[in-house]
Structure 1
Amino acid sequence: MSGLEADCSRCFGLCCVALPFARSADFPVDKPAGEPCRNLLADHRCGIHDRLVEGGWRGCVTFDCFGAGQQVSQVTFGGVSWRDAPGTASRMYAVLPVMRQLHEMLAHLRDALALAPDEVTRAELAAAADDVTAATAGSPDEVLAVDLVAVRSCVGGLLRTVSATERDRQRRRHGIPKPPRRVRAGADLVGVDLRGRDLRAADLRGSLLIAADLRDADLRWADLLGADLRDADLRGARLDGALFLTRPQLAAART
């Protein structure tokens, strides 16, 4: 499962055109979907890439397409850009967010396989990865026809199984105590003080950890799939072995 890291040199600046953003702490201006960002150059490079944070473009720094940009640019649309073929632009913009979700799922499946699950689960993960990979190779119409709800349900169930098995294994191996009752999947932990807490093998999937104080917390083997870590303070936190933690999550936190 290669190609899951963004390579902007092989992309047509799609995230800078296709996606909308609103003036906020992450962006200094509004931009509708389909309109090129004012910082996008004619060669598809960002004109202020080296000073995005200083200029108030934090949202660009935290965004990661998981390689979907170059897949759409070079494979789905055969290396012909929206500038060279304006008639394809709207479909190209529509395909990007679908492809990004598929690539993100592939990244999680890769991580799950690396945990060396049992033979049956490993075979199911590999089959799911093959199916998602095949979907990413389709035509624009085929990609747009992908049932993302069904794919997410399948992949999510497999990841949940792998997570539960791995966290249970680590609990038994290291004698890890149960986390506090409020620390659970989907919990609202916005701004909560969790400094120095033992959160090893905790299920924090989908939890809201916005601006939470996690300094020096131990998050090894914690499931962080979909956890919102915007402005969470992770300075000094142990994150080695954390499950399904992504680059965008880390970029959105304070580290």
Structure 2
Amino acid sequence: MSNSSHSLCDNSRDTLHADCENCFGLCCVALPFAASADFAVNKDGGTPCSNLQADFRCHIHQNLREKGFRGCAVYECFGAGQKVSQVTFHGEDWREKPETARNMFEVFPIVQQLHEMLWYLSEALSSDITKSIHHDLHQALEKTEGLTLLEPAALMELDIPEHRAEVNTLLLRTSELVRAEALQKHKHTKKRRNTYGRGADLIGANLKNADLKGANLRGALLIAADLREADLRYSDLIGADFRDANLSGADLTDSIFLTQDQLNSAKGNSRTKLPPKLKHPTHWPR
């Protein structure tokens, strides 16, 4: 994927990360979780986590994994927390205005989904390969951004699955263009490539050194898969489950639709190559 990008999508992606300083701890309150390998206890949606402090900071933030809250360490809201806190509800928090709490908690996951779509659309726009559909991508991005700015009542009435289906049509087209480019560039390679379909069950698979350039790994189950030194350039990774997958030394540069939360759930090291907008998780060895 080209390093050149449109200024709008650059600015959009730079803001599509959690800014906890400007959020009222929404992910710690609005979302439910169940006791499991990812969470130490049960918690109902709309109930503050016992680790949430008065200043909306997490009491065990530096030790989430050790304390059994790996799910919190993995989670990424794509900037929805600060959007809902500072824009939708104008900086008025749910503790000071408890009458807004229910609506704020209901709106948060809706905006999170819209912001995730903005991340994917902005990424699609950052590629020269997708120039033929840039106009449609821009329109979809602007429409999605507009939806995030709606009042709470209007947000709660949105048909998110319908809008996601519209966006997904363009994301599928993006995937086809990018992966076709990969096949064209590497058609003379002598190394036999592994090819898998959407939603492939690759739990625990041995994919060490695998050539997965241009692979369609949408929604693939890669839990605990061995992907050490694998070549994942130009592969479509939207929705792929990387929990405990070993990405040490893998090359994910030019992969598409990879998100920080996917990386946070995986294992890797300093030799793992990532797209420029993503970073090595702090729990990966240096």
Give the TM-score category using the shorter length: over 0.9
Alpha-carbon distance in structure 2 between the residues aligned to 1:11 and 1:22: 23
**Mind listing any 5+ residue stretches in structure 2 that lack a counterpart?**
1-11, 269-286
In 2, distance between residues paired with 1:215 and 1:151? 36
Residue in structure 2 matched with residue 160 of structure 1 by the alignment: 172
Determine if contact 2:130/2:178 at 8 Å carries over to the other structure.
Answer: no
Partner of 2:204: 191
2:101 corresponds in structure 1 to: 89
Q: Write the distance in 1 (CA, Å) between the matches of 2:175 and 2:132.
A: 15
TM superposition shift of 1:174: 2.1
The answer on 1:208 being equivalent to 2:230 is no
Q: Which amino acid aligns with 2:166?
A: C
Alignment of 1:44-59 (within 5 A): 44-59=56-71
Q: Report what 2:235 is aligned to.
A: 222
Distance 1:51 1:212 in 2: 26
Note the residue ranges of structure 1 that are not aligned, 5 or more in a row. Answer: none
What do residues 110-129 of structure 1 show as CA deviations (whole Å, max 9, x unaligned)? Answer: 10001124544100000000
Quick one: which amino acid aligns to residue 240 of structure 1? Answer: T
1:146-195 CA-to-partner distances (Å, cap 9, x unmatched) read 211111111111011011111111211122577435x2111111111111
TM-score (norm 2): 0.86
The alignment covers a number of residue pairs equal to 254
Check 1:178–1:82 CA distance in 2 against 1; reply closer, same or farther (3 A cut). farther
TM-score normalised by the chain length of structure 1: 0.96
Kindly report the root-mean-square deviation, in angstroms, between the aligned alpha carbons of the 2 structures. 1.3
Which of 239, 247, 251 in structure 2 is aligned with 1:234? 247
User: For 2:77, which of 31, 54, 65 is the aligned residue?
Assistant: 65
- Counterpart Cα distance in 1 of 2:42 and 2:267: 25
Aligned position for 2:25: 13
Show CA shifts across 1:99-145 (max 9, x none).
00000000000100011245441000000000000000010011112
Percent identical among aligned pairs is: 48
- Measure the CA separation in 2 of the matches of 1:179 and 1:77: 50
- Looking at structure 1, the residues matched to 192 and 106 of structure 2 have their Cα atoms a distance apart, in angstroms, of 44
